Amino acid sequence: MIVAEDIHFFYPNKVEALKGVSLTIKEGEFIAIMGQNGAGKSTLVKHFNGLLKPTLGTVRVNGVETTKTSVATLARDVGFVFQNPDHQLFSETVEDEIAFALKNFGFEPEVIEKRVTWALNLLALTQYRKTSPFLLSGGERKRVALASVLAWDPQTLILDEPTIGQDHEQKEKLRQFIMQMQIQKKTVVIVTHDVEFVAECNLRVVLMKEGKIVADGLGKDILTDPALLELSSIVLPQIAQIFAKLSTLGLPKDIIDIYEAKEIILKAQESGLRK
Amino acid sequence: MSKLSRLRLAGTKNMAIIETKNLTYTYPGATKPSIIDVSIKVEKGEFVLITGPSGCGKTTLCRCFNGLVPHFYQGELKGEISVAGVNTLEHHTYEMAKHVGLVFQNPENQLFALSIEKDVAFGLENVGVSREEMRKKVDWALNLTGIYDLRERSPHEISGGQQQRVAIAAVLAMEPEIIVLDEPTSFLDPLSAEKIFEVIYALNKKQGITVILVEHRLDLTAKYTNHLIVMDEGKVRFEGNPREILSTEETRLIGVGIPKATLLYQMLKKDGLNLNGNIPLSSEELADQLLEALKPK
Amino acid sequence: MSVFDGLRFRKVYSPIHNLDPRIKFVYVISIFVVAILFYQIIPLLFLFFLQIPFVLLARVQRQWLRSLRGASFLAGFIFIVNVATTYFTSGYTLLAPNVENAAAMTLRFVVLVESFSVFFLTTSPDHLGLALEESRVPYEFAFAFTTAVRFVPVLAEEAQTIMDAQKARGLELEKGGLLKRIRNYVPVLIPLIVSAIRRSLELAEAMESRAWGATKKRTNLYLLKLRRGDYALLAITVGILVVAIYVRLFVPIPTITQLL
């Protein structure tokens, strides 16, 4: 459980990147933090594993204040996968890359061996075990970066812009992977501006603008509110755009799921025919 | 005008501005080719969309259009290619620059000057255009991309979307016949992406520039084109009308992200709801068809 | 947005910023030469105060003071060394003229720092790059210079991100003895280098695509043109040089000790 209470954060150049943010993330939740570039999304999530400490206010991870502990300790519970895998890959082989964090955390060699095998398998990387991560494709490098964090099995996983530069199939695989994490009751926080991706996952959305939270609720409520989205410079998901137009027929507006969309349209047509 | 020359003029109108025949290319040191037997034809003034999963050879094909492949990358290029009437195999990339402008994925790494206008002028400086003429062309390009007011800023003072517009202005200033954009919005948020697409669309419609756009986001771009190319594993799998291509099961199985509107249209059709008109490519099109169909009579 | 904001240049407009960087450079070199010519405190004080109008006109007082403060440690060091040497070499006596001489040496150093800092504080990197382009420096060097200015802050920010990414995987940079600490930086350095190489390849590709190397006779969007202010500065520079050389040759300069 992560609890942020009225946090403010100033960068050394005195820019106030967070202006009083309070947020509680419960165990097992799946949250998307959305907003324009510069809205403070990345600054906020960097507080969850102690990379940044609030200037004012407190952040507690499982009851422990982040100012009273180290990133290395917090990282055991909160795994953070950065946007660009090239910002972390450095080992000679994929296997070493995944073992890096495990060694830092002081796991026993046998445990490390087991964990590496497990993580490779989970992300379909087993065939690349002895390959240099630099020889892999962009999508594969992204998976290695993810595996290198999953290896120590943190309770919470933070993914910064996981869909950037990914094609349709890679996004679909990522979505399925997150769903799998959900079944295991893991907490997943994604920072993203990919509305279509968020619309396809049924989750809680936290909308930020200029260092503040402007909305917090279900994806289907927030992503179908044109005024709110315009305020945060986000576009409506495709399905929501269709239903925004269809609302003149008395159909509901808060639809983002394609299957739900189909049912509603078919029902509307039947009732129209009956009349 | 003689009859013959008039005929020839009519002929040039429909002439292919880009034509490749059995183009196959292997990067130096690679074991298998990145593009295989690619034969495509693009006409002057077209807006062509190329899509396909990561690693399908889209980027490599783009590099062929201005001679980066094979001149910059070396390696082995087989087959024929002609771009704006020039055989790129025989002409260096700097000669192609006045015919073809290439815009890359990462805006940060294509801007190297310390002010926006200096960046836009970079290509013109390289070919030795006079200062007065350069000023005119730079201002023209800045205006068309809507960044004239930013001209004196430095690249780090502006957003990623604006940076990408600078990159477009920078190739536009060379007044190319063709602009090739390789996933220009993959680092951008959807709103900035839409703005980029609108700029590109206007260049195509108003300036008559041939556009080749490589994109994953068909949701936002399919509506601009009537010439879609789908690539997979180095080969061209489908080429033609996007409405037909995007509604086939095969396209979906390759892993192309079909626009939601097209998908929903097909799901409805399968369940017996027939809508009037074309297969929709955007939410606006589908919404209009649905309004028509569901309207109380 | 980050710690590295200080590395980023900002465009400022002032009469001094608008001056031709080449003339400004000539001015700075002249001050440098004059400062070397004199070893008495009075002309050096005069040189010191001569810069202040420039600083005020350019409105860079705060940054200027900061650079002086930065130099103060070294200035103090120079003073102490000078005093100490005369103290030890003149038989453990401390005379007023010796102290004054040490002060003059220190002041000479301060004047040098001062004038160079005025130059760098009022000359934007693109102006400097342009000056390089218009001088007979090969264009590749000028380009390398501006590109470096453009990408140093980007790389610095990237280094910060990489450190964060590795810290998030349990890397503790400050842990262990000296050797261990150096080794700790390997996971930061390798991604930084790999990414810089990737970046330079992409840059090269973008440059090629924009007709890099098309002709030897490159043109330039901007033209450095001498304006009235530049001629004025040039006149001032020549004036200072003439006066300084005249004074140095024909006017005996009293020391403060003598005046008292």
Read off the pLDDT band of A274 (50, 70, 90). low
Q: How far is C164 from chain A (nearest CA, A)?
A: 7
DSSP state of B37: E
For chain C, give every domain's residue range.
14-123+228-259, 138-209
CB within 8 Å: C210 and B174 = yes
From residue C250, alpha-carbon distances to B160, C36, C247, C253 in Å are: 63, 17, 5, 9
Distance CA C135, CA C53 (A): 28
Give residues with Cβ within 8 angstroms of B282, minimum separation 6.
Answer: B219, B222, B223, B259, B261
- Cβ–Cβ < 8 Å for B256, B234: no
Q: Give the mutation candidate from A88, A103, A135, A191 for the C interface (greatest C CB count, under 10 A).
A: A88
Q: pLDDT tens for residues A131-176?
A: 999 999 988 999 999 999 999 999 999 999 999 888 899 999 999 9
Say if strands B178-182 and B100-103 run parallel, antiparallel, or are unpaired: parallel
Read off the pLDDT band of B7 (50, 70, 90). very low
CB within 8 Å: A82 and C169 = no
B38 closest CA partner among B231, B245, B248, B251: B231
The CA R_g of chain C, rounded to the nearest whole Å, is 24
B263 in reach of chain A (CB within 8 A): yes
Quick one: pLDDT at residue C9? 56
Quick one: pLDDT at residue C96? 84
Contacts of A234 in chain B (CB under 8 A): 189-191
Quick one: pLDDT at residue A199? 93
Q: pLDDT tens for residues A164-217?
A: 888 899 999 999 999 999 999 999 999 998 999 999 998 999 999 999 999 999
Q: Give the mutation candidate from B133, B156, B158 for the C interface (greatest C CB count, under 10 A).
A: B156
Say if strands A204-209 and A30-34 run parallel, antiparallel, or are unpaired: parallel
Calculate helix-pair angle for C61-89, C41-58, nearest 10 degrees.
170
Q: What average pLDDT does range A107-129 have in this prediction?
A: 96
Query: At residue B222, does pLDDT exceed 50?
Result: yes
Quick one: pLDDT at residue B203? 97
Distance CA B154, CA B134 (A): 19
Q: What average pLDDT does range B181-193 have in this prediction?
A: 92
List, run by run, the mean pLDDT of 10-residue segments along chain C (260 residues). Answer: 46 82 92 91 91 88 85 91 87 83 91 88 84 85 89 91 96 89 94 94 95 89 89 95 92 81
Q: pLDDT tens for residues B73-103?
A: 999 999 999 999 999 999 999 999 999 999 9
Look at residue A201 and give its three-state secondary structure.
Answer: coil
Partners of chain B (3+ Cβ pairs below 8 A): A, C
Read off the pLDDT band of B1 (50, 70, 90). very low
Say if strands B76-83 and B16-26 run parallel, antiparallel, or are unpaired: antiparallel
Instruction: Show the CA angle centred on residue A166, arms to residues A162 and A171, nearest 5°.
Output: 70
**Residue B70: is the preceding peptide bond cis (ω within 30°)?**
yes
Q: Which CATH class is domain A1-74+178-234?
A: alpha beta
- Of the candidates B68, B111, B125, which has its C-beta nearest C205's C-beta? B68
CA dihedral of A139, A141, A146, A152, whole degrees rounded to 10? 150
Helix (H) or strand (E) holding B220: helix B218-221
- Cβ–Cβ < 8 Å for C172, A72: yes
Look at residue B98 and give its three-state secondary structure.
Answer: coil
Q: What average pLDDT does range B3-22 have in this prediction?
A: 64
B213 φ, ψ (degrees, to nearest 5): -115, 125
A86 in reach of chain C (CB within 8 A): yes
CB within 8 Å: C191 and A87 = yes
Contacts of C166 in chain A (CB under 8 A): 88
Look at residue B187 and give its three-state secondary structure.
Answer: coil
B57 closest CA partner among B31, B27, B80, B87: B27
From residue A218, alpha-carbon distances to A4, A230, B284 in Å are: 20, 17, 25
Is the CA virtual torsion B273, B274, B280, B286 positive or negative? negative
Query: At residue B11, does pLDDT exceed 60?
Result: no
Quick one: pLDDT at residue B4? 42
Q: What average pLDDT does range A218-245 have in this prediction?
A: 93
| Predicted-complex ipTM score | 0.93
- All domains of chain B in start order, with CATH: 11-99+179-186+210-241 (3.40.50.300)
Instruction: Show the CA angle centred on residue A45, arms to residues C194 and C169, nearest 5°.
Output: 45
Distance CA C109, CA A211 (A): 46
From residue C203, alpha-carbon distances to B280, C144, C209, C212 in Å are: 39, 12, 10, 11
Q: How far is C43 from chain B (nearest CA, A)?
A: 40
What are the residues facing A21 on neighbouring strands? A7
B271 in reach of chain A (CB within 8 A): yes
Query: What is the pTM for the complete model shown?
Result: 0.88
Contacts of C158 in chain A (CB under 8 A): 87
- Cβ–Cβ < 8 Å for C10, C59: no
Q: What average pLDDT does range B202-214 have in this prediction?
A: 97
Q: Which residue has the higher pLDDT, B6 or A20?
A: A20
Distance CA A217, CA A215 (A): 7
- Of the candidates B108, B125, B170, which has its C-beta nearest C218's C-beta? B125
- Of the candidates B159, B267, B291, which has its C-beta nearest A37's C-beta? B159
Distance CA C220, CA C226 (A): 16
Q: Tokens 């008395």 identify what position?
A: A250
Contacts of B98 in chain C (CB under 8 A): 211
Query: At residue B200, does pLDDT exceed 80?
Result: yes
- Cβ–Cβ < 8 Å for B128, B119: no
C99 φ, ψ (degrees, to nearest 5): -65, -40
C135 φ, ψ (degrees, to nearest 5): -80, -175
Residues 70-99 of C with CB under 8 A from B: none
Residue B95 identity: E
CB within 8 Å: C211 and B97 = yes
Q: How far is A54 from chain B (nearest CA, A)?
A: 26
Neighbours of B7 (CB within 10 A): 9
For chain A, give every domain's residue range.
1-74+178-234, 78-153, 237-275
* Highest mean pLDDT out of A56-60, A227-231, C217-221: A56-60
CB within 8 Å: A72 and C198 = no
Tokens standing for residue B144: 């068309």
Partners of chain C (3+ Cβ pairs below 8 A): A, B
Q: Tokens 């002081």 identify what position?
A: A106
Average pLDDT, chain B: 92
Distance CA A4, CA C78 (A): 52
Q: Tokens 């909305």 identify what position?
A: A215
